[in-house]
Amino acid sequence: MKGSPLFLCLFSTMCWMNLMLTAGNRIFHFGPCRVSMSVTEIRSGFTAIKANIQARDPIRTLSILSYPHSLHKVKSSDRCCIAHRLSNFYVDKVFRHCKTEDSYVNRKISSIANSFLSVKRTLAQCHEQNKCLCGQKSTEKFKQILANYEALDVTSAAIKSLGELDILLDWMEKSP
């Protein structure tokens, strides 16, 4: 199978991370939901591949996450909804379609994806408990992000979204 090595890498990395202690993790508050994650670890992996990923992005006139101020001025009550939708978006769309011929870059993407899987699970539980409600503004903001993504072909959109990961991480770190 063509995707087997990447799946195996994702699976083994996920198992390894589950065995590790949570040292270096920080608790983020997205509305009433709390998520433990190591943004430092994600940033480190992203920084290692950022130049490579952004060099692959041929479209400089469009932004997926910051058009127009998609993540700015999100109400505290809507932060969980946006974080939940974006974690699903990155795991289901971005990381799934962001593959390169460079095994080092693919390993870093896999590591970042595994970190997002954990966030996705935590926010899904919160959402299932009706703590993570989606207001009209957050729904509109996410629809705009999705429209920006879908305006491009799948591979270009995935590369661009991964190249903008620092925008998302900055937003997460500004969490009250």
What's the pLDDT tens digit per position in 87-114? 999 999 999 999 889 999 999 999 999 9
Question: Which of 25, 117, 146 minimizes the C-alpha distance to 109?
Answer: 117
Q: At what angle do helices 136-150 and 76-89 cross, to 10 degrees?
A: 30
CATH number given to 4-173: 1.20.1250.10
Q: How many angstroms separate the CA atoms of 71 and 74, rounded?
A: 6
Whole-structure pTM value: 0.81
Question: What whole-number percentage of the chain has pLDDT above 70?
Answer: 84
Question: What whole-number percentage of the chain has pLDDT above 90?
Answer: 48
DSSP designation for 56 = T
Q: What pLDDT is attached to residue 6?
A: 55
Q: How many angstroms separate the CA atoms of 153 and 148, rounded?
A: 11
Q: Where are the domains of the chain?
A: 4-173
E-assigned strands of the chain? 26-30, 33-37
Q: What is the mean pLDDT of residues 11-19?
A: 50
